[in-house]
Structure 1
């Protein structure tokens, strides 16, 4: 059984050489981190205003938000709220930020001018860029330039620069202890990992057990994907896995260990389950997934037991202009009219 969809779990185990261990700085930005945040996607034409959305976060006691571009209305609405923020930089903007002056201007306009009234936590430089994408060559230079601009503003201790990746960077993910980056991914991700480790920043990872499940329903049980398996499904040495979320996350941790970055933290920057539009995409399954995820991430994984997993649910509202798959339009915890699809508590 492989944890990744069929398109990515056929890669054979590749030989790995260990890099020299990378020392972590002590500046990891973990103080006061809420376990649960919610992503605020806005690819829709029927959403509440940015101010209404921020107010809705406050009403629901949600202490962290992820946005995907420097939406000025959202940043303005976040002032003084103490909601911690992942600010995304769109993939289309990465090439321009390989120019240091452009990166400096970005930080001045979108971060310095709002800080400290807005509680920036991470800057995600790109989202789910694949090693073969044209933008891949720009990710690390843009990260370095954004970081240098934060240094110039003396904000590098408060705001960490990272990028959001997918588990498809793994060439093998089963069992979790055998997790390893693919040969295609290694030249792309290893320099990024070295950058993160040297600056005490976490790796951001988008983990969707839903997509793994629908990519391999023959070998992956629905309960394993929904946190409802009654017992251990995968025994990996001394570690027993009852859910696919832990197995995927620990596969990534194993891959980090094999490239000398055992101390690097992973923040789950997206995780969710659609309520309509495809296989196993039901309100009941979505409710089960989010409820169990919120409860589970307080406890860590077999590789990191007892350590809460900083996790961002995807997403606050349905986004009617997403696609191409119909399920992409049904990941919201709430409908655009702010009505919940199912009971949910964020603590």
Structure 2
């Protein structure tokens, strides 16, 4: 019987398994959920062309700009790197009141570059809902609508999304995550914004910072929880879910707030999150070890594809703050110390972003946290602009030795908290299933087919080792 006769067992088996295998292989290989913020409040940044080459040498697949610098947008052309561009808060009144201004903005900042430059999203304003100028709040949605209409007129409405970016202070409740709610003081504005997102398929973009939550609750067990490191765990009294890190808790609090208004299907994108590697002596939390631990473990967590407890099985698109330090930013030293890379393009610290080196990073181990009862409440922190409306709690400890001894088991059990990366167990199962099927069929096939089958097995084994 021919090996690939459509009625043969091998053909039937391959037809059933191959689509699943390659779909998962593509999903597992993609790291499109890892992005970085590219701020420009600095006078020592490398040329855009050099920065583009740097990005191409990493696993970073998306870049968020706070404006629409033409030199950067051009430099990223034909690289395949997704780009988020921004209209400044100061542009909102004109965008809201004049559709022609919105059309000109798109004509100037999008049309000359797209599609060679892979513009994904236009953000209209940054943290407008909690900004000092409250007059912008009522103008935000009209501005977004006019930009959307301008994109529609250019036949780009379904290709480039329109959004805005919020601080975690848009939530008045986040503890526990299942109780997440938006500030009722925004009236119907937030609901109208969400209706816009739902109608246009655009994401809700948020800036969760475990770093700021730790500053509000600087205990050893809080630090471990915020850095994805071994700690005691906290059960959400509303769902019975035990949260294992601050990032998941913050993102799920946003999901709960969306759900409470009837918009649970609106996609969440983390527009900013990060940790400073140094700060002033009076600042709590900035250090090289902490920054390396947070960003390294965050990247490992995203690569695990485990998702969050309320949104499992898919990593939220996350833009890490920031690509470079911005030496002209005002404020404490920490504000100028978030860069993953230095102006000379060398790494500030290694968090396994290089395409040429995917070895796991080993985070600094914090002081052993004191035991904390899973039911012990933590006083919620009143949110203020920028800091997260915190939910800082500990989780059960899992040692590096346990993870290293059985990485596949660790993945299967969803054990996180270190920067150890492990292979997706489903991928291994699919490989084993295909190899087993081929071997079984080979027993009943002609001897001449055995050589071909052996080649298939070797190829699949190589794929499995690479993954």
**Shorter-chain TM-score above 0.5:** yes
Contact kept, 8 Å, 2:62 with 2:83, in 1: the verdict is: yes
Q: Tell me what 1:18 maps to.
A: none
Q: Deviations over 1:118-161 (max 9, x none)?
A: 11111111111125633222211110000000100111111111
Q: Tell me what 1:23 maps to.
A: none
Which protein, 1 or 2, shows the higher relative CO under an 8 Å CA cutoff with sep ≥ 6?
1
Q: Distance in 2 between matches of 1:33 and 1:188?
A: 34
Contact kept, 8 Å, 2:278 with 2:287, in 1: the verdict is: yes
Q: Distance in 1 between matches of 2:347 and 2:33?
A: 21
Contact kept, 8 Å, 2:87 with 2:123, in 1: the verdict is: yes
Q: Tell me what 2:79 maps to.
A: 81
**Residue 280 (str. 1) matches residue 293 (str. 2):** no
Q: Tell me what 2:196 maps to.
A: 195
What are the equivalent positions in structure 2 for 1:142-181 lying under 5 Å apart? 142-181=143-182
Match of 1:70 among 59, 68, 71: 68
Sort the Cα spacing of 1:226 and 1:186 in 2 relative to 1 into closer, same or farther, 3 A: farther
What are the equivalent positions in structure 2 for 1:230-309 lying under 5 Å apart? 230-236=231-237, 237-277=239-279, 278-297=283-302, 298-309=305-316
Q: Tell me what 1:96 maps to.
A: 94
Contact kept, 8 Å, 2:106 with 2:150, in 1: the verdict is: yes
> Greater CA deviation, 272-281 or 183-192?
183-192
Give 3-state SS (helix, strand or coil) of 1:328's partner. Answer: helix
Match of 2:328 among 321, 337, 345: 321
Deviation for aligned residue 1:192:
0.7
Q: Distance in 2 between matches of 1:142 and 1:130?
A: 14
Q: Distance in 1 between matches of 2:220 and 2:175?
A: 12
Contact kept, 8 Å, 2:31 with 2:59, in 1: the verdict is: no
Contact kept, 8 Å, 1:131 with 1:188, in 2: the verdict is: no
Q: Tell me what 1:13 maps to.
A: none
Q: Distance in 2 between matches of 1:302 and 1:249?
A: 10
Q: Tell me what 1:207 maps to.
A: 208
Q: Please identify which structure carries the higher helix content.
A: 2
Give 3-state SS (helix, strand or coil) of 1:342's partner. Answer: coil
Q: Distance in 1 between matches of 2:102 and 2:193?
A: 18
Q: Distance in 1 between matches of 2:187 and 2:272?
A: 22
Q: Deviations over 1:208-260 (max 9, x none)?
A: 11011102326971111111133423434231101111111101110001111
> Greater CA deviation, 169-178 or 211-220?
211-220
Q: Which 5+ residue runs of structure 1 have no aligned equivalent?
A: 1-29
Q: Distance in 2 between matches of 1:172 and 1:268?
A: 18
Q: Tell me what 2:454 maps to.
A: none
Contact kept, 8 Å, 1:127 with 1:163, in 2: the verdict is: yes
Deviation for aligned residue 1:62:
2.0
Contact kept, 8 Å, 2:128 with 2:166, in 1: the verdict is: yes
Match of 1:60 among 28, 42, 58: 58
Give 3-state SS (helix, strand or coil) of 2:348's partner. Answer: coil
Q: Tell me what 1:127 maps to.
A: 126
Deviation for aligned residue 1:323:
2.2
Larger Rg: 2
**Residue 338 (str. 1) matches residue 345 (str. 2):** yes
Contact kept, 8 Å, 1:229 with 1:243, in 2: the verdict is: no
Contact kept, 8 Å, 1:86 with 1:122, in 2: the verdict is: yes
> Greater CA deviation, 221-230 or 182-191?
182-191
> Greater CA deviation, 137-146 or 55-64?
55-64
Contact kept, 8 Å, 1:299 with 1:309, in 2: the verdict is: no
Q: Distance in 1 between matches of 2:66 and 2:82?
A: 14
Q: Number of matched residues?
A: 317
Q: Distance in 2 between matches of 1:240 and 1:155?
A: 42
> Greater CA deviation, 178-187 or 130-139?
130-139
Q: Distance in 1 between matches of 2:126 and 2:188?
A: 18
Contact kept, 8 Å, 2:274 with 2:320, in 1: the verdict is: yes
Deviation for aligned residue 1:299:
2.0
Q: Distance in 1 between matches of 2:87 and 2:212?
A: 24
Return the TM-score normalized by structure 1: 0.87
Q: Distance in 1 between matches of 2:212 and 2:235?
A: 19
